[in-house]
Structure 1
C-alpha cells in the first residue's frame, strides 16, 4: 500500500540533541577531547562586573574553530551555517530552540581578546597532539606564503615628501568631498611620508618602464593599483599593515606573510606567525627559530634539524643555526659563489691566489646590501702585464673579490644539502610543509584575511592552524582505535585456532 507523509508541526515535542548526533560524528568526538575551560580565567579581566552578560569565551572560540573547520570566512554566513547543523549546535552547547550570538559579537570579541590568548589556545592544542604521540620535534620544516589582505589595490595612496604631506592631504580631502564619499585614513603620518632615496626612486621608475613594456598583459595587470606601485611609493589607508607583494606570474596584491613550521612526523603545525609581506623570508628565520625552539622545549621535545627552501638562505642564518646547535638543510641562494673560478683561498694567511700565482690580499670588511663581506684586491702592477688580464678583469686595473664572511658556514650547509641525506630531506620538506599550506588556504579558511591589521591577521592564522591540528589529532585517534580493534580481532582469531571456541564474547 502506498504511503503518504503529511507534515504538521507539533506544539510540544520530546527531543535531545545527544540522541540525534551519532557517536562517530566529528564534532561529537571533538567535544569530548577539547577542553577550553581555562579561557574563563584568561579572559576574566576583559569583562566588567555589571551589565548584560556577553558571549561565553569558550563558545566564542568554538564558533571561530567551526568557521575554519567548515572553510567559512564570513561571520554572518558562519552563524547561518551553525543554526542549520545539529552536530555543531551540540558541539557549541546550544539547544535547537536557543538563539545563537549575533555575527557582530564575534567581530567585536575577536578584537577584544589579545594575540597572546589565541597563541595560548594554539599551544594548548599542540600539547594535546604531543600527548597523543604525533609530534616528534626533532625535524621541523619551515615555509611561508602570502595571504591576501582585506584591502584592495584600488585603495592605494601615493606617499609624498614630508614637507608636502599636509598640502597633499588637504587636496585629497577636497577631492573626496567632490567625487566620492570620505574615506578614513588609518595609516600614521610616518607611513604616508615617502622614505625612498633618489637612487631607489630611479630604480622604481626603471622597473615601471620594464613593466609597461613586458608585463602589462599579465593577469590582474589591468587593476588600478597593479602597475607602477611599490611599498616605497604607495601605502594602503584601508589596512596600513598590509604590504604590496607579487609572485612570479601573479598580479600584485596587498598581502600578509604567513610563516609556519610543520613537524615531519605527522605534519602537525608547531608554529605560525603573521609578518609583513615586504621582506624576505630569510629576515624572519631567526625570530621563528627562537620562538619555536622555546615552545618545543616547553613540550619536552628536542629540536635538531631544520628544513627550508632557498628563500631562507643567508650566511647570517647559517651561522645562527650552528650557534643554536640546529642542523640546517637550506639550499643556497642563487647569488652565492664560493669564489672566482681557478682561484685558491689560503685560509691561514687570508688571501686568494690567482691562476698566474699572484696574491689577492685582504683590504677591508664592508656591509653590502645587508650582507657582511670581505673585500680582496691585487696590486695594479701584478695585473698590468698579465696575459689573462682581458679575460679576468676586462678594462679594470686590479682584480676585486668580494665574498661573504660566512663562507665556511655556506660550505658546510651546501655539503649537507648535496649529500644523499640532503636529497632525502628535500623530498621530505616538499611533502610536508607545502601540502599543509594548500590545505590551510583551500580548505581551512585561510584564502583571505577577513580582518584589518597585522595583530588581527595573526589571530586568524593561529585559529586556522589550531583547527588544522585538531583535525589531524582526531584523524590519528580514529586510525589508532581502528588499528587496535583489528589487532584484537586478529589475536582472537589466532587464539581460537589454537584453543578452539571460547565461552565469553569478544568486546571490540
Structure 2
C-alpha cells in the first residue's frame, strides 16, 4: 500500500487507504476480495510501528538486488545530495526546553524583565508582536526550543525561504544508472559537512547486503559537503571525493593539525580541477535532483505526516524502494509508473487501426 502511495502521489495514509478501498484494480493487486475490507490507515500505522527498521531496510535491499540482477547497478560513482522534509509540526507550537513556555509566555516574560509591563498584566497579541519585532538578537535555536508534538523535528530554512520544522533527507545514487542506494534521514540541524561519510557507508552496506560485489570508489557532492574531517574520513575508507572547495577569504593553515587532513584536502582539490569533475558534477546536479523530484514532489514525500525520526526513516526507505522499482519497471516495460504504461497502451491502441489500414492499403496497391 505504501508503494501505491508513491505511484499515485498520495502523501497521507488516509488517502492511501481510501484509494485502495475505492479501486478495483488496486484491490486485485493487493489480493483483497470485493467482500473483504481493505486495511485502513490505522492498520498502516500499527504495522509500521510493530515492524523494526531492519524489515524496511530488507525491503529496500530486495528491490536493490532485483535492480542489480537486471544490470541497473554499476557500483562505481556515488552522487550525494540532501533536501528538507517538512515535519508534521507547526512553528507556533514550539516551547522552551526546560521551562515549557510557549512563544506568548516567553515574550511576556521578556517584557516584564525589560520593564515594559508589570507582573500580572496581560498584554495583547499586538503588543507581544510589536515587542518581539523590535528586540535584537532574535533567533530560534534548536538548543533552546523544541516541538512538544514532534521533539525530533528541528527548525530549518526551506528552499523557498520559509522557516519550518523539518528533517533532512539525503540520497546517494548510482550516478550511471540512477537507482537510490542509500536514503538516509537526519535531524534538520545536521549540516551536509557532517553526514557525507555516514551516507557513503550506508550505501556500501546496502549494496553488500543486496549481494552486489562492486564497491563504490568515487563520491561526488556539492561544496556544502566540503569539510576536512569528512574528506579525511572518506579517504581512509578508500573513497575518492569530488567535492568543490568553497571560496575562502584566507588560506588554510595546517599548524598543529594532522597531516592526513592536509593530504585529503589537497587530493580532493586536485581532482576537482579536472574535466572529469565537471562531468560528474553535471550528472550529480541533474540526477540526484531528479530523484528528489520523483520521491518528494511527485511521490508525495515532501511533507511527512509522521512524527519521530524513526518513523520518517521507515517511510523514506519504502518510498526510495518504490522509486527504484519504478526504474526497474522502466527498464522492463518502458514505463516507470502504471499511469505512464496505460498512456503508452492507449497510444498503441490508437495507432493499431491506422497501422492495419496502412498495411491493407499497401496490399491492395501492391506496394
Structure 2 length as normaliser, TM-score?
A: 0.77
- Residue 456 of structure 1 corresponds to which residue in structure 2? 311
Structure 2 residue 48 is matched with structure 1 residue 110: yes
- Residue 198 of structure 2 corresponds to which residue in structure 1? 287
Distance 1:276 1:459 in 2: 15
Match of 1:324 among 237, 243, 259: 237
Structure 1 residues 300, 339: CA separation in 2 closer, same or farther (over 3 Å shift)? Answer: closer
Match of 2:73 among 135, 141, 150: 135
Q: Contact 1:260–1:271 (CA<8 Å) still a contact in 2?
A: yes
Q: What is the DSSP-based 3-state SS (H/G/I as helix, E as strand, rest coil) of the residue aligned with 2:190? A: coil
Greater percentage in helix: 2
- Residue 262 of structure 1 corresponds to which residue in structure 2? 173
Decide which moves more: 416-425 or 316-325: 316-325
Distance 2:159 2:21 in 1: 42
Which whole-Å deviations, capped at 9, do the CAs of 1:153-190 have from their partners, x for residues lacking one?
A: 01100134xxxxxxx45x88xx9xxxxxxxxxxxxxxx
Q: Contact 1:239–1:453 (CA<8 Å) still a contact in 2?
A: yes
Q: Contact 2:158–2:164 (CA<8 Å) still a contact in 1?
A: no
Structure 1 residue 266 displacement after superposition: 2.0
Structure 2 residue 12 is matched with structure 1 residue 79: no
RMSD between aligned residues: 2.7
Structure 2 residue runs of 5 or longer lacking an equivalent are 106-131, 336-367
Map of 1:35-54 to 2, 5 A cutoff?
none
Match of 2:217 among 276, 298, 304: 304
Structure 1 residues 303, 339: CA separation in 2 closer, same or farther (over 3 Å shift)? Answer: closer
Structure 1 residue 406 displacement after superposition: 2.1
Structure 1 residues 337, 304: CA separation in 2 closer, same or farther (over 3 Å shift)? Answer: farther
Distance 1:90 1:441 in 2: 27
Structure 1 residues 338, 228: CA separation in 2 closer, same or farther (over 3 Å shift)? Answer: closer
Structure 1 residue runs of 5 or longer lacking an equivalent are 1-62, 161-167, 176-210, 214-226, 341-349, 351-361, 366-372, 375-403, 481-508
Q: Contact 1:314–1:333 (CA<8 Å) still a contact in 2?
A: no
Structure 1 residues 430, 333: CA separation in 2 closer, same or farther (over 3 Å shift)? Answer: same
- Residue 63 of structure 2 corresponds to which residue in structure 1? 125
Q: Contact 1:135–1:263 (CA<8 Å) still a contact in 2?
A: yes
Structure 1 length as normaliser, TM-score?
A: 0.56
Structure 1 residues 69, 456: CA separation in 2 closer, same or farther (over 3 Å shift)? Answer: same
- Residue 495 of structure 1 corresponds to which residue in structure 2? none
Distance 2:260 2:204 in 1: 26
Structure 2 residue 31 is matched with structure 1 residue 93: yes
- Residue 120 of structure 2 corresponds to which residue in structure 1? none
Which whole-Å deviations, capped at 9, do the CAs of 1:322-345 have from their partners, x for residues lacking one?
A: 2222111111133485459xxxxx
Higher relative contact order (CA 8 A, sep 6+): 2
Number of aligned residues: 305
Distance 2:280 2:251 in 1: 23
Structure 1 residue 141 displacement after superposition: 0.3
Q: What is the DSSP-based 3-state SS (H/G/I as helix, E as strand, rest coil) of the residue aligned with 1:151? A: coil
- Residue 164 of structure 2 corresponds to which residue in structure 1? 253
- Residue 416 of structure 1 corresponds to which residue in structure 2? 271
Q: What is the DSSP-based 3-state SS (H/G/I as helix, E as strand, rest coil) of the residue aligned with 2:195? A: helix
Structure 2 residue 169 is matched with structure 1 residue 231: no
Distance 2:28 2:294 in 1: 26
Which whole-Å deviations, capped at 9, do the CAs of 1:229-274 have from their partners, x for residues lacking one?
A: 1112211111000011114651111111101111112210101111
Q: Contact 1:313–1:332 (CA<8 Å) still a contact in 2?
A: yes
Which whole-Å deviations, capped at 9, do the CAs of 1:303-362 have from their partners, x for residues lacking one?
A: 11111111111111222222222111111133485459xxxxxxxxx9xxxxxxxxxxx6
Distance 1:239 1:233 in 2: 15
Q: What is the DSSP-based 3-state SS (H/G/I as helix, E as strand, rest coil) of the residue aligned with 1:406? A: helix
Match of 2:182 among 271, 279, 292: 271
Q: Contact 2:168–2:188 (CA<8 Å) still a contact in 1?
A: yes
Match of 2:262 among 404, 407, 411: 407
Q: What is the DSSP-based 3-state SS (H/G/I as helix, E as strand, rest coil) of the residue aligned with 1:272? A: strand
Q: What is the DSSP-based 3-state SS (H/G/I as helix, E as strand, rest coil) of the residue aligned with 2:82? A: strand
Q: What is the DSSP-based 3-state SS (H/G/I as helix, E as strand, rest coil) of the residue aligned with 2:182? A: strand
Match of 1:154 among 64, 82, 92: 92
Which whole-Å deviations, capped at 9, do the CAs of 1:115-169 have from their partners, x for residues lacking one?
A: 1111110001110000011111111101111101111101100134xxxxxxx45
